Amino acid sequence: MKKLFIGIIVLFALMAAIPAIISIPKADISSLFIKAQSNADNTAEKTKQTHSDDKHSKTEKDGFLLLEENGDKTSYSQLEMLCGALAAKMPQEYSEESAYALAAALYSQLCYMKENRSSNGLDGADLAKKDNGGCNFLTKQEAAEKYGGDFYELCKKYAEHGIKTSITNDKKRINALVFRSCNGSTNSATELFPKKKLSYCQIAPSPWDKYGNIYSEKNFSREKTETLITEKLKITKFPDKLSDYIKIKSTAQNGTVLDAELCGKAVSGIDIMNLFSLKSPCFEIEYGEKQIHFTVIGEGIPVGMSISGADGMARQGAQMSEILSHYYTDCEIKSN
């Protein structure tokens, strides 16, 4: 009887509530649902935006920006950027200590470029994918296609070590320039880059470079030479003799051309290197009846650390810090 009585009371309560529920207009119910859904969407969007802002802030603070060939900029973490830079520069057959030295140098250079984004000439980026025809960065896929997956993993090992190493001069990270090989010694930065403050890049002996083949050759016909000069330098008047087209005025101790004259116009050895797409500003010229012959020594502008020389030092027992100290003068090297 007691249970029956309670059931009757509940039934009457429900019958009293039904009219109130029915009296709520459908439009009001719909609007309540839409409003709730809108609030949920707004909350989700704000959360998404917050995450996006956090990611962007973290990228700007901790990552690096790569200037692609089409002018776009791609963000990479410190490790990804250093792996890509190392994969583009490091030879496949490379000793461990020299690889550590190269990773540390490239990381210092990346940090320097990032700290000077407003004036580094890369439109706010820290590294250009290609520069003067040379590749400076390989993605993981590109490195795997070119050298195999194991090579990229090896680069990652060295990059992890490089990130923990700092190279400083006067307590500031240095622009640790690197190049492929030279004619037995590097140049001082004041010889080739007089306007840049790179006091730590001085002349350093690098006899190890000569262990390998450091020579390359290029020939240019008179017609091709005139076409290049006209297109890039807007010069249209040429000497009668082909031997008067290029006159070397001064060279450094290692043979790098410092000053020259091109059809009466004062230029540098680097200008000629860029004009004729030579591997180095260290070159000799021979003239034939109808062509100019370049014999080029080394690869890259020989300021900073020689990649080939670093490997030679390592194979003779030098440690990473010794290699870096040899090529970068008066610098402090620390590993965390």
Percent of the chain with pLDDT over 70: 82
Do 109 and 236 belong together in one domain? no
Same domain? 161 vs 118: yes
Same domain, yes or no: 160 and 249: no
* pLDDT of residue 19 exceeding 70: no
- Kindly state the tokens that stand for 72: 């776009």
What are 102-120's pLDDT values in tens digits? 999 999 999 999 999 999 9
Instruction: Decide if 49 is inside a domain.
Output: no
Which whole number is the average pLDDT over 231-245?
A: 94
Mean pLDDT for 23-47 is 43
Q: Looking at the structure, do residues 204 and 280 belong to the same domain, yes or no? A: no
- What's the rounded Cα separation, in Å, for the pair 66 and 124? 9
In a domain, 40, yes or no: no
So what's the pLDDT on residue 132? 77
pLDDT for position 149:
84
Which residue, among 185, 189, 50, 68, has the nearest Cα to 126 in the 3D structure? 68
Cβ-proximal residues to 163 (8 Å cutoff; 6+ apart), any chain = 78, 79, 82, 103, 107
- With beta carbons less than 8 A apart as the criterion, state whether 184 and 207 touch: yes
Q: Is residue 35 part of a domain?
A: no
In a shared domain, residues 207 and 87: yes
CA distances from 75 to 36, 62, 106, 123, 127 (A): 37, 10, 17, 14, 11
Same domain, 131 and 232: no
Number of structural domains (the chain) is: 2
Q: Is 278 found in the same domain as 314?
A: no
Read off the tokens for 252: 């450094």
The secondary structure of 253-278 as a DSSP string is TTSBEEEEEETTEEEEHHHHHHHTT-
151 and 186 both lie in a single domain: yes
The residue range of the domain holding 276 is 215-297
Question: pTM here?
Answer: 0.81
Q: Could you tell me if 91 and 207 lie in one domain?
A: yes
> What pLDDT is attached to residue 134?
86
Same domain, 190 and 318: yes
Counting residues of the chain whose pLDDT is more than 90, the rounded percentage is 77
CA distances from 295 to 81, 184, 246, 281 (A): 35, 16, 14, 11
Check if the beta carbon of residue 68 is closer than 8 Å to that of residue 141: no
Q: What is the dihedral of CA 309, 315, 320, 324, to 10 degrees?
A: -20
Q: Is the predicted pLDDT of residue 201 greater than 50, yes or no?
A: yes
Residue 308 and residue 203 in one domain? yes
Q: pLDDT tens for residues 246-278? A: 999 999 999 999 999 999 999 999 999 999 999
Residue 122 and residue 99 in one domain: yes
Average pLDDT of the residues of the chain: 86
pLDDT reported for residue 61: 55
pLDDT digits over 223-233, tens only? 999 999 999 99
